[in-house]
Chains A and B, each alone.
Chain A
Amino acid sequence: MYGWIWRHLPGPLFLRVIEAVVLVVGIVALLMFVVFPWAEPKLPFNNVTTQ
């Protein structure tokens, strides 16, 4: 997977490194601001109220 992505990044080496970093940051941001806030209430970690 990672090898496939690396081979498909266009441009010379330094450009590829920059592209890879941008990809990683983008995916982390997607997780932090979209996926985790959506998933968190569904997980049994942090309920503080009594019923």
Chain B
Amino acid sequence: MPPRPRPVDPPTEVIPRVEDDYDDEYYDDDEYYDDEPAAKDAPPPDSVARKAVRGVGEALITMGLVVLLFVVYEVYVTDLLSAEKQQDATAALDSEWSSNVVTPPPADPNRQSKLNLIEGKAFAKMYIPVFGNDWKFSVVEGTTDKHLEIGPGHYKDTAQPGEAGNFSIAGHRVGKGAPFNDLDLLQSCNSIVVQTQTQWYVYRVLPMRNEVAGWASNPKSKEAACTGVAPLSTTLGDAYAKTVGQEIVVPTQGEVIAPIPHQVGTTVPADKQARLLTLTTCHPRFSDKQRLIVHAIETKSYPVADGFVPPEMTEG
């Protein structure tokens, strides 16, 4: 059998390369997907719950910061604002005193010349030597918030400096210049000096409640500073039994600034009344639950003269 001729392979057909970008694009895409593992590290898109929780958290932090800022405002910023107002009030008072024709001293020494008090205007200067030489404030008329921003304020309708009755002053204990910050540190016989255009008045803190009983035998009562200071119940009678150097009362006890403290109903002729000074501020510090009250009695007065400073001013 003759061999069968082998079938001839057809020549390999060369197909020319098709020029299109399709494959390249495909590979590009593939490279994009290679990045996937890195993308997995990024957080998933925020869900609504996540956003809400974060919003609440941020709001709470913000409110905390606002409260802290308020403390800064209350304790420091109000001091700055009030210092400016106090300066203005003092400057106005100084210019008034220096320009004003000094009212001649009253012919009858028992008759006080009344000061003309205008609300919101300073009318006297106040010094507490034991608090240091730099402790001085101009006292304004009126005790509203606006007035007390300027400095210690005189309760309207209470006595004037040096008058029989109760010359009463309120002052801030925290912020706003904090004139009465250290009022709780005042001891019996410490002097509080008030200066008007024509007179210096020296008031001294009355004996404290626990000093009243043994005052006569207390060595302190013999000190020069305590001249003229004695428990009022022994010198002026029972009407003054509750008037001691320092007391803490509730805010509604307005009777502490009555002409005779704690005696509201009784009318006592002015010539039988002591010449008192009463300071009020808040207590305890940073709270308005109670009021800290300091009572003092006038022991001396001097006419204002050029270059004269009462010896009590150097105490402390």
Residues of A within 8 A of B (CB): 1-3, 28, 31-32, 36, 39-41, 44-51
Contact of A31 with B282 in the complex, beta carbons under 8 Å? no
Q: Are A40 and B280 in contact (CB under 8 A)?
A: no
What is the minimal beta-carbon distance from B181 to any residue of chain A, in angstroms?
11
Say whether, besides A46-B288, A48-B171, A2 and B58 are in contact (CB < 8 Å).
Answer: yes
CB < 8 Å neighbour of B58 from A1, A50, A51 = A1
Most buried by A among B155, B249, B282, B286: B282
Contact of A49 among B54, B59, B280, B287 (CB under 8 A): B280
| Residue B221 lies at the interface, judged by CB distance under 8 Å to chain A | no
Assess the B251–A51 pair: CB atoms within 8 A. yes
Instruction: Indicate which residue in A31, A40, A51 contacts B66 across the interface (CB closer than 8 Å).
Output: A31
Q: Give A49 Cβ to nearest chain B Cβ, in Å.
A: 4
- Chain A residues within an 8 Å CB radius of B78: 40
Q: Contact: A28 with B172, CB < 8 Å?
A: no
- Which A residue's beta carbon lies closest to that of B57? A1
With A1-B59, A36-B70 given, is the CB distance from A50 to B257 under 8 Å?
Answer: yes
A44-B288, A45-B74, A45-B288 known; A50+B69 contact, CB < 8 A: no
CB distance from A33 to the nearest CB of B (A): 9
B contacts with A: majority SS? mixed
Q: Which residue of A lies closest to B58 (CB)?
A: A1
| Chain B residues with CB under 8 A of A3 | 54
**B275: chain A residues within 8 A (beta carbon):** none
Question: Nearest A residue to B77 by beta-carbon distance?
Answer: A32
Q: Which residues of A contact B31 (CB under 8 A)?
A: none
Assess the B249–A50 pair: CB atoms within 8 A: yes
CB-CB under 8 A for A48 and B280, given A1-B55, A32-B77: yes
Q: Flag if B73 contacts A50 (CB, 8 Å).
A: no
Distance A48 CA – B180 CA, assembled complex (angstroms): 10
29 inter-chain pairs at a CB distance below 8 angstroms, sorted by A residue, are: A31-B73, A36-B69, A36-B70, A36-B77, A39-B70, A40-B78, A41-B145, A44-B287, A45-B174, A45-B282, A45-B286, A45-B288, A46-B172, A46-B175, A48-B148, A48-B171, A48-B180, A48-B288, A49-B143, A49-B148, A49-B153, A50-B170, A50-B249, A50-B251, A50-B253, A50-B254, A50-B257, A50-B280, A51-B251
Q: How many residues of chain B have a CB within 8 Å of chain A?
A: 40
Residue of B54, B155, B288 near A47 (CB, 8 A) is B288
Whether the Cβ atoms of A49 and B174 lie closer than 8 Å is no
Q: How far is the CB of A29 from chain B (nearest CB, A)?
A: 11
Contact A46–B73 (Cβ < 8 Å): no
Does B176 reach chain A (CB closer than 8 Å)?
yes
Interface residues of B in 116-173 (CB under 8 A from A): 143, 145, 148, 153, 155, 170-173
B204 at interface, CB cutoff 8 A: no
**Residue B98 CB within 8 A of the other chain:** no
Residues of B within 8 Å of A41, CB to CB, are 145
| B99 close to A (CB within 8 Å) | no
B256 CB-CB contact with A under 8 Å: yes
Task: Give the CA-CA distance A51 to B59 in the complex, in Å.
Answer: 39
Which residues B10-60 have CB closer than 8 A to chain A? 54-55, 58-59
Question: Once the chains bind, are B280 and A46 in contact (CB under 8 Å)?
Answer: no
Partner of A45, one of B69, B143, B287, B291: B287
Whether B254 lies near A47 (C-beta < 8 A) is no
Q: Which of B248-299 contact A (CB under 8 A)?
A: 249, 251-254, 256-257, 280-282, 286-288, 291, 293
